[in-house]
Structure 1
Amino acid sequence: MLNESQTQDLSALLPGQSTEAGATRRTALKAAIGVGYAASVLPTLAQTAIKTPADGLVAGDVTIDVKGFGMPAYRAAPAGKTGLPVVLVLSEIFGVHEYIADTARRFARAGYLAIAPELFVRQGDAQGYGEMAKLIAEVISKVPDAQVMGDLDATVAWAAANGGDVKKLGVTGFCWGGRQTWLYAAHNPNVKAAVAWYGRLVGTPNELTPRNPVDVAAQLNGPVLGLYGGADTGIPLDTVDKMKTALAAGGAAARASTFVVYPDAPHAFHADYRPSFRKDAAEDGWKRALAWFQQHGVA
């Protein structure tokens, strides 16, 4: 049974929008596609609109130790450089597929050590599902926020040991990862700035997800830029207003946080391999994200 917050995540991705599940780990479709997919989705899954080359970068899979557990991750960074600012890239519910890897390479080309950890791997293969509801029920709903925070802490430690300057630490995430972006900005005192792309802000607490971004808004360690769609049916604009009120009552980082709402953009407007992609909003959001990190010391 899906709780209210998980149902909201699902509803944000269903009508008129394709899913990523079924893509290979990085670059192509898995051999077996679940029966829940429309055939018209498949060409979109097979490619992204933006292709960021890896020449001049160190890019690929790594394994991060989390108290003896080997967590897979994708990292990209300028080749031969150290002391790099660090950006954690948090995926949607479908894990680190080609779109997320490409986003990491985009950050690397901007001078960052970008790391995208596989945050669902203990619960299952997020890319092996063809039905959204089944994926959420069997994998995503079983991922504790505390586990995610610990995995991200381990990712930061890995970055510090592998060419990153974690005094210049940023985090960004999309959809599910957008929610975790807000939470991690309140969790880790070293976060200088964060950018949350259409991450859910409110929800019904439960044992695994005891707090939502609105509950930790006052505790942010670094300011967060929220990039949201005015036509996002899963994240009503009144929840953005609730978050703004909570931020206004917080400390300096909370009060420095801000939102940009693209009036006609749906959920997942940055996801360039999906029908939800909106080029103008995505490009504007990307420019704002880079400027936000530079403004707040993640550069």
Structure 2
Amino acid sequence: MKDLTRRKFIIVSSLAAGFALAVRPISAQVITTDSKGLMAGEVKIPIADGEIPAYRAMPATGENFPTVLVIQEIFGVHEHIQDICRRFAKLGYLAIAPEMFARQGDVSQMSDIQEIVSKVVSKVPDSQVMSDLDATVKWAAQSSKGNTKELGITGFCWGGRITWLYAAHNPSVNAGVAWYGRLVGESTALTPKYPIDIAPNLTVPVLGLYGGSDDLIPNDTVEQMRKALKAGSSNSEIILYPDTPHGFLADYRPTYRQEQAEDAWNKMLAWFQKYGVA
């Protein structure tokens, strides 16, 4: 009976296959990374009320891999996020993307973005996300050959905001890289803080990668964040790419900008190396 009670909280028991419905049709320029030489696929992360699915990729041989948490967009851990994990694994990392919306619903089968936000994303508490990421770090160290003394985190859009917040929540993170995550917002019971609120006291170095033509994240909020970071001592930085839209790394969507995406990816890897995630 106890197991049944626990399982009822876990709505999404497995990851999406392919791309989320809401992002189709997929762009012809989509990047596909194979799993040759890798151990890649779905795993289960034990949490307080059961388990959540996650995508894990790492080299097929070796151990003690530097570990990167990969945090999803609002579309869940669909093919794009899984591919990013494989890209990291090809470079010698253990990359793991836990499904952050597992209790709230399966966004991969929703075709309308507003439905995703109203029915699922808006109901996900930050406290739940922080706890699940803590559980993922623990699992990586105990069950997946991860070296969590070399721990990084990166996230996209919704996951970009979470990257800033988790870097504040867990000072054991070596470095973070936030891709176009919202910086300023209204405090609610489920989302009490935004990156701007934690910036002055942040100790983990976070690199923010943002687009100057992002219609979801105004440039003035980026400048507010830069000012707040300067009041602290985390050595965090923000790069703002001119004339670049939201989602510029998302090669499966029309927002993809190859030049900026490749530059930002290389800057992320250099940031991780600089701060001991390598």
Query: What is the TM-score of this pair, normalised by structure 2?
Result: 0.91
Aligned with 1:105: secondary structure? helix
Which string of whole-angstrom CA distances, capped at 9 and with x for unpartnered residues, describes residues 54-87 of structure 1?
0100000000001241110000001122111000
**In the alignment, structure 1 residue 241 sits paired with structure 2 residue 223:** yes
* Distance apart, 1:218 and its partner CA: 2.0
User: Partner amino acid for 1:188?
Assistant: N
Tell me the equivalent position of 2:274: 295
Separation (CA, whole Å) in 1 of partners of 2:43 and 2:98: 9
**Residue 136, structure 1, aligned to residue 117, structure 2:** yes
Percent identical residues: 56
Question: 1:48: Cα distance to partner?
Answer: 6.2
Q: Give the whole-Å Cα distance in 2 for the aligned partners of 1:234 and 1:60.
A: 32
Amino acid in structure 2 at the alignment position of 1:211: K
Counterpart pick for 1:106 among 87, 105, 109: 87
**Could you say which residue in structure 2 is the equivalent of 1:25?**
16
Residue correspondence of structure 1 range 120-135 to structure 2 within 5 A = 120-135=101-116
Task: Tell whether the 8 Å contact from 1:188 to 1:221 is kept in structure 2 after alignment.
Answer: no
Partner in structure 1 of residue 171 of structure 2: 189
Q: Distance in 2 between matches of 1:122 and 1:109?
A: 31
Classify 1:250/1:97 alpha carbon distance in 2 versus 1 (closer, same or farther; 3 Å).
Answer: same
How far 1:262 sits from its partner (Å)? 0.9
Unaligned runs of 5+ in 1: 1-23
* Structure 2 Cα separation of the partners of residues 283 and 75 of structure 1: 23
What does 1:87-102 correspond to in 2, within 5 Å? 87-102=68-83
CA distance in 2, matches of 1:42, 1:183: 30
Show the counterpart of 2:100: 119
Do the aligned partners of 2:19 and 2:108 also contact (CA within 8 Å) in 1? no
Amino acid at match of 1:130: S
Per-residue deviation, 1:130: 1.3
Deviations 1:277-296 (A, max 9, x none): 00001101100000100000
**Cα distance change on mapping 1:48 and 1:126 into 2, 3 Å:** farther
Letter of the 2:216 counterpart: G
> How many pairs align?
263
Q: Matches of residues 46-85 of structure 1 in structure 2 within 5 Å? A: 49-85=30-66
Q: Is the CA contact 1:198–1:227 (under 8 Å) kept in the aligned structure 2?
A: yes
Which of 262, 266, 277 is the aligned partner of 2:245? Answer: 266
Structure 2 residue identity aligned to 1:270: L
Distance 1:144 1:273 in 2: 28
Amino acid at match of 2:256: F
TM-superposition CA deviations, 1:257-277 (whole Å, max 9, x none): 111111011000000000000
Q: Which residue of 2 aligns with 1:86?
A: 67
CA gap of 1:43–1:134, structure 2 versus 1, over 3 A, is: closer
**In the superposition, relative to structure 1, how do residues 86 and 283 fare at CA in structure 2: closer, same or farther (>3 Å)?**
same
RMSD, aligned α-carbons: 1.4
**Displacement of 1:27:** 2.1
State the match for 1:152 in structure 2: 133
Contact kept, 8 Å, 2:19 with 2:80, in 1: the verdict is: no
Any idea what SS the aligned residue of 1:64 has?
strand
Q: Is contact 1:190-1:221 (8 Å) kept?
A: no
Deviation sequence 1:177-229 (CA, Å, 0-9, x none): 00000000000011000000000000000000000000011232310100000
Q: 1:48 to 1:87 in 2, by over 3 A?
A: farther
Q: Which structure is higher in RCO with an 8 Å CA cutoff and minimum separation 6?
A: 1
The alignment status of 1:205 with 2:184, answered yes or no, reads no
